[in-house]
Structures are given as structure tokens and as C-alpha cells.
Homo-oligomer: A and B are copies of this chain.
Amino acid sequence: MTAQKSRKTPQQRRSRDMIDRLLVAAAQVLEERGYAGLSTNRVAERAGVSVGSLYRYFVDKNELIEELRARSSADVLGDLTQALTAAVAMPARDGVRHVLAVLVRALKRHRAVTAAMIDEAPLGAHGNILPEVERQLAQVTRIFVAVHAPDLEPAEAEARIHLAMGVALNACLRIALQPPPGVTEERLIDLTADLMVLGLVPHPSRN
């Protein structure tokens, strides 16, 4: 049976509402008091709900946080997927740039949660906040390489993909969450796009 993994099994309308209210409250608390201040009591209070109710729908504090993370991740992933399908019709560099721009915008929309999670939450086990996003991005990058640099050996291609992924995610997070002063976001995205293309497709003049 491996019974109820998750305690929530809402059957009335107000239950669903409550779950939403709790998650919204959690996001707010995270934004205002940081990850350390994110206690279940506080979240419940903030949601105008009792702790007991919180624990009716979330087995754990962990599950609450995981749900919060999952929702943000899913939302970002949505935008990303859309951008990717649009990008395939563009010339390579423009496509890459478009995807990066959309990713940055999506991350910005979830700025508070993402930021708090990234630099305050114990992510344990190298847990990224957006593993789904990373996976999707890697997937598409693989295809990109297969098309634009079909002669690369598999191992070499993997290495380049790995590197480019790191560059892309890291750059987008930096741009979205801690934009450096004195540089336009546009320019940074341009440079990142250039770098990705350069990094993925072997440069003719050398090596």
C-alpha cells in the first residue's frame, strides 16, 4: 500500500485555496525574512491559517518548500520550452540569444524565491533549484550541437555541452539576480550568446 506519501487529498474547494494561500504566504515569508526565517508557524500565520491546517496538506516542512520550488521551476520551464520552439526557426546565434533572454526574464519573475533559495537554502546534494530547466536546456543543446557541429566526437561534444550549460545557467542567474552595475543586460546576453556558440562549435582558426 505504501500509503499516503503526501497528506493532502483535498476534496473541497477551500482546501485547494488554502494550499495556494499557504504557498503564496511561504513565498512572501521567504522574501521578507529569508530562508532562515521560513518557519511553518510563520507561514501559517502569514496565510491566516493554523499550523495544523498546514500539516494537513503538507507532510513536512520539506514538502512545502519542495512544492514552492517545483512551482517556480515549472513556470520557468514553461517559458523556456516555448522559447526553444520559437528558436529553432531562427539563425543559430539569434536563437540562442532569444532563449537566454526569455530565461533571464523568467528568472527575474521568480527573483525573490530563486534568490532566497540559491543563496540561503541548504540545497544539499548539489541540488540545483531548477534541475528540470537544466535538463531541458541540455537536451536541446545536444540537438544544437548535432546540427551545427556534427563532426564532433561524442565525448568532445559532451564536454562542450557540459561547459556551455554551466556558462548559460550561471550567466542567466547572475544577470537576473545580481545584475552588475554599469553594463546593460542586453549586452551581457549578447556576449553570453556569442560565448555559447563559440564554445559549442569548434573554432576553425585554432586547434
Contacts and interface: CB of A to CB of B under 8 A. Distances in A.
**Range, interface on chain A:** 35 or more
Contacts of A123: 119-120
Contacts of A203: 194, 198
A199 B191 contact: yes
A198 to B, nearest CB: 5
A192 B162 CA distance: 11
A171 B166 contact: yes
A166 B195 CA distance: 12
Contacts of A170: 166-167, 170
Interface in A164-178: 166-167, 170-171, 174, 177-178
Contact of A158 (B163, B183, B199): B183
Contacts of A155: 182-183
Interface string A173-205: 010011010110001100110110011000100
A121 interface: yes
Interface stretch (A11-19, A41-49, A101-109, A124-132): A124-132
Given A36-B122, A119-B126, A167-B195, 15 more contacts: A34-B122, A34-B124, A35-B124, A119-B124, A120-B124, A126-B177, A159-B191, A162-B174, A162-B180, A163-B191, A166-B167, A170-B170, A191-B199, A195-B199, A198-B198
8 A-B pairs closest in CB distance: A120-B124, A170-B170, A159-B183, A119-B123, A120-B122, A195-B199, A162-B180, A119-B124
6 contacts: A34-B122, A119-B125, A155-B182, A156-B187, A158-B180, A195-B195
